[in-house]
Amino acid sequence: MAVRSVTTAAVCAAVVLLQPMVGADDAAAQDVAAGRRKAIACQGCHGMDGLAKMPDAPNLAAQPANYLERELRAYRSGARRSEVMSVAAKALSDADIRDVAAYYAAIRIEIKDVPQ
């Protein structure tokens, strides 16, 4: 009986603890899905796969979302300047920035042939 109630309590605690995490995962998945749609505007230069399609554009695949968000806000505010990105970032809302950053950050890459 005692063992059973401890087990029940543990299961309940786990369910309560997991609940917000499941919600957060769902929200993150929604950001990525929305970001995929919004990244269509970026693909000419950065690719849908996050690999640059132009020599002067950087790869975005697997860059940390925090970093991508910070740089996009910097372009938008004028703190970071680029002929192309200062214009491209002006059109982005906070939600757009969060979503495209989540999308490019979610791409998995594999590192090979690191020079030794």
Of all residues in the shown chain, the one whose CB is closest to ligand HEC is 42
Chain contacts with ligand HEC (rule: CB under 6 A): 41-42, 44-46, 56-58, 60, 68, 71-72, 82, 84-85, 88, 92, 100
Considering Cα of 82, then 88, then 93, then 95, what sign does the dihedral take?
Answer: negative
Residue 59 burial (C-beta neighbours within 10 Å; 0-12, 13-18, 19+): middle
| Residue 108 CB, nearest approach to ligand HEC (Å) | 18
| Residue 76 CB, nearest approach to ligand HEC (Å) | 11
